[in-house]
Amino acid sequence: MDDLSPVLSIQGLAKSFSTPVFRDLSLEIKSQQSVALVGANGAGKSTFIKIILGLVGADSGSVKIWGQDPRNSRVLERVGYLPEVSGFWPELSAREMLFFASKFTDRNQEELVERRENLLSVLGLKNRGARRMDGYSKGMLQRSGLANLLLHDPEFLVLDEPMSGLDPRAQAKLRDILSRLRERGKTLLISSHSLEDIQKLCDRVIVLEKGAKVLDGETSQVLSELERKYQSSEPWDEDPLGDDSGFF
Amino acid sequence: MVFFDRVFWLASLRCLILLRQKLGWMSLIVGGALIPLVLIVARVSFVGPAKIFWDFSLGISFLLQIVLASYLGSHVLDEERARKTLHVLCAGRMTRVQWVWGQVLGTWAFITAMNFIWLLVSAGLSKAIFADAGSWIHLQTQIFVAIEVAIVVGAALLLSMFLRSALAWMSLISVLILLHSVSYLLTILKSQIFQVSGEAEAYEYLFKALYFLPPLEWLDLRVFVGYEEFFEWSQFLSIGALGVAWSLFFVFIAQRRIERLDF
């Protein structure tokens, strides 16, 4: 497969719940790209991620991962997803969760056992990973979620605000892991509010605003454009936080 | 093969989670605590203590299983959605159809395991205290309860895809009560009191329509326990097959419905 072939291809995507979320959104993410998805709260980032993973259906338009429907089991095998709030069963330990996760892939089970132990060790869960997850800190939960994400060695990783709720040390560690995955040629799609993370991890930034793609380009270019917009006090649409003059 | 493999492991995961959840192990404790009560009731009864024991034991087991099956079946989707485990599973591990089958099978297996442990404990106690280990009909009764549990879990999961989980649970319980009492209701309607009102015929048609829903009344053999040693195997298999077909019907509809849901 061509290194720059599209991993994700979206054409004319439209989705509405009670109000429209996306109207005619089109974009492509190529293999080995590391893309940041940026936007204010409510801009549609999480919905966008759920649509590309097949968790939410589009009203119209097409969403393809490697040219196929995202719900296709062969596609699923190559995709990893880390939700904003880690998806975990509090009744299980991290080790048990990884045991079951290994049973949900077609990969060689012996390799997975070795990979599971390595992941637990690298992510600092080797000893504490035997405890039930309802006693974990936010950082440990995020690391368990990351181990779960990486267990089947997916080629396309989708992370929804992975740094949210982590302390600075844990953030630095996670940033380092993601950076190494990027170097290994994984395709990353990261939803984030942190400009520092975006600068360090991504080579492309897509800015969503009210369900539309308002900026899309190289990281440095898009970030300077964002900075210029904020500094010039040019309103994008309206101040999302409202006018607080005279209140405080 | 991959399909069954995924379903099997998800069902195992579901069983393990239920076993560790408060509701799961509390049911086991409640069940265990009720057995001595059943024994006391049977011992103080004047006639047929063994029959009284079996009646109460199977009755409590039946009630516990149906309440658990309807509750767990109607809450699993919301629970997994709130925990985001549904998202993680369906976005990279398995198809939605596998998820439905795994959850139904896991919930059914957990409740049915409790069912047969209960049967074994009851048979042991009955043998030790009343010198009566039960007969084929006790086993047949519990097999039918297991089939009913499969129907209820499938129907509960399906309903929870249309309604909020609490509402799905309550409405299912109402339907279950109705389906278990069709012939009793028809008998009441045919009585003189209702004949006078002239509305009985209309109600009769209404209740006969319930026969087109799952035959839960036929699956309830507890009334025969103690009076019959054996339920005709051919009849038993026919009713059982019909029950299994209903259960599969609900799961098939649920797997069609889940494809349309947004998580």
Query: What would the pLDDT profile of A79-88 be if each residue is shown by its tens digit?
Result: 999 988 768 9
Cβ-based neighbours of A83, under 8 Å, separated by 6 or more: A145, A160, B84, B87, B88
Average pLDDT for A213-218: 90
From the list B83, B91, B96, which residue is nearest A88 (CB)?
B83
Cβ-based neighbours of B58, under 8 Å, separated by 6 or more: B122, B138, B141, B142, B222, B225
Q: For B37-96, what is each residue's pLDDT tens digit?
A: 888 888 888 788 888 888 888 889 999 999 999 999 999 999 999 999 999 999 878 999
Count CB neighbours of A53 within 10 A.
Answer: 26
Higher-confidence residue of A58 and A76: namely A58
User: Hey, is the C-beta of A79 within 8 angstroms of any chain B C-beta?
Assistant: yes
The CA R_g of chain B, rounded to the nearest whole Å, is 20
Angle at alpha carbon of residue B73, lines to B69 and B74, rounded to 5°: 120
Identify whether the C-beta of residue B12 lies closer than 8 Å to the C-beta of residue B106.
Answer: yes
Strand order in the sheet with A6-16: A20-30, A6-16, A60-65
Instruction: Please determine, for residue A139, whether its predicted confidence score (pLDDT) is greater than 90.
Output: no
The residue of A48, A59, A73 whose CB has the most chain B CBs within 10 angstroms, and thus the best one to mutate to test that interface, is A73
Distance CA A174, CA A159 (A): 12
Torsions phi, psi for B21 (to 5 deg): -80, 150
Q: Which of B240, B219, B118, B236 is nearest to B176 (CA)?
A: B219
pLDDT (0 to 100) of residue A245:
63
**Token digits for A89?**
């069963």
**Token digits for B139?**
């086993």
Most confident segment among A51-65, A120-134, A227-241: A51-65
Distance from CA of B65 to the nearest CA of A (A): 22
Higher-confidence residue of A246 and B36: namely B36
Cβ-based neighbours of A42, under 8 Å, separated by 6 or more: A240
Cβ-based neighbours of B262, under 8 Å, separated by 6 or more: A50, A55, A56, A57
DSSP single-letter state for residue A130: G
Distance CA B34, CA B31 (A): 5
Q: Under DSSP, is residue B64 helix (H, G, I), strand (E, B) or coil?
A: helix
Average pLDDT for B239-251: 95
Query: Cβ separation of B17 and A89 shorter than 8 Å?
Result: yes
Task: State whether ipTM is beyond 0.90.
Answer: no
User: Hey, is the C-beta of B256 within 8 angstroms of any chain A C-beta?
Assistant: no
Distance CA A140, CA A93 (A): 11
**Token digits for A180?**
């190494």
Query: Cβ separation of A83 and B9 shorter than 8 Å?
Result: no
Query: Whole-model pTM?
Result: 0.89
From the list A53, A76, A85, which residue is nearest B84 (CB)?
A85
Q: Under DSSP, is residue B199 helix (H, G, I), strand (E, B) or coil?
A: coil
DSSP single-letter state for residue A207: E
Which residues is A36 bridged to in the sheet? A190, A205
